[in-house]
Each structure stands twice: as structure tokens, then as C-alpha cells.
């Protein structure tokens, strides 16, 4: 019985360590968080209207490393549809994120356009 309790405690401890590590890894540095917030704000302004906002959003997005671009676009895309999602897709295209994704998919044997995705 005591061995089962010790084993259960160890399993719980390992689970907490894994979750904590994942949360800390996702959080990033304060500078990274500020850059993500700035980019999100620029993207939201761009999606809401003025044509000049698209250039600022594109420039802000281009400053991010690829993994952060994917994160910020993915976070926003989940809550968008229609025109907003189309604008977000165009920004991803302008910053080279779509071509990079297509290259990665082709290298991994994903097939890209042959599977029904726009190229």
C-alpha cells in the first residue's frame, strides 16, 4: 500500500513538472511578449479597417521569428472567418509564412496543392 502511494506521488510530481515546463516554455521572455502584443494590436487594427494599417501589420509581423508568426496568426485565425481570415491569409503570404509552410509540407511529403490547399 505504501509503495502505491509513493508511486502515485511520483507520477503526480512528474505530471506537474511536465505541465510547468510546458507553461514556462510557452510564456517566453518579456521582450517576446511585448513584441507579440504589439503585433497582435497591429493585426487587429489592420483587420478593422484602414488600408495603411495593413502595411504596419505586415511590418510588425515580419519582425517576428517564424514560430511566433505562426503562433500569433493561429491565435487570431481561430476567432476569424470570412474577410478577416482572408486578410490574415494575405498578411501571411506577404511575410513569406505561406511559402515557408508550403516548402516544409513539400519536404515532408505533404503534397500542398494536390491535397486541395490553395497555393
CA 63 to chain centre: 14
- pLDDT for the residue 21: 60
- pLDDT for the residue 68: 86
Dist CA 85 CA 106 (whole Å): 24
Q: Are 36 and 74 in contact (CB under 8 A)?
A: no
Dist CA 67 CA 44 (whole Å): 19
Contacts of range 27-36, beta carbons closer than 8 Å, 24 or more positions apart: 32/68, 35/63, 35/64, 35/68, 36/64, 36/68, 36/71, 36/72
- Each residue's pLDDT, cut to its tens digit, for the chain (119 residues) gives 777 777 777 777 677 667 766 655 555 677 888 888 888 888 888 888 766 677 888 888 888 888 888 888 888 888 888 888 888 888 888 888 888 888 888 888 765 555 454 54
Domain ranges of the chain: 29-97
Number of residues assigned to the chain:
119
Amino acid at each position: 500500500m505504501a509503495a502505491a502511494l509513493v508511486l502515485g506521488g511520483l507520477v503526480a510530481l512528474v505530471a506537474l513538472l511536465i505541465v510547468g515546463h510546458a507553461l514556462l516554455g510557452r510564456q517566453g521572455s518579456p521582450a517576446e511578449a511585448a513584441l507579440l502584443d504589439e503585433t497582435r494590436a497591429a493585426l487587429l487594427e489592420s483587420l478593422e479597417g484602414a488600408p495603411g494599417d495593413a502595411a504596419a501589420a505586415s511590418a510588425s509581423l515580419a519582425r517576428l521569428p517564424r514560430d511566433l508568426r505562426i503562433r500569433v496568426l493561429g491565435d487570431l485565425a481561430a476567432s476569424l472567418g470570412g474577410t478577416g481570415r482572408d486578410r490574415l491569409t494575405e498578411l501571411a503570404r506577404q511575410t513569406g509564412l505561406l511559402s515557408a509552410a508550403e516548402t516544409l509540407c513539400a519536404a515532408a511529403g505533404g503534397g500542398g496543392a494536390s491535397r486541395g490547399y490553395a497555393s
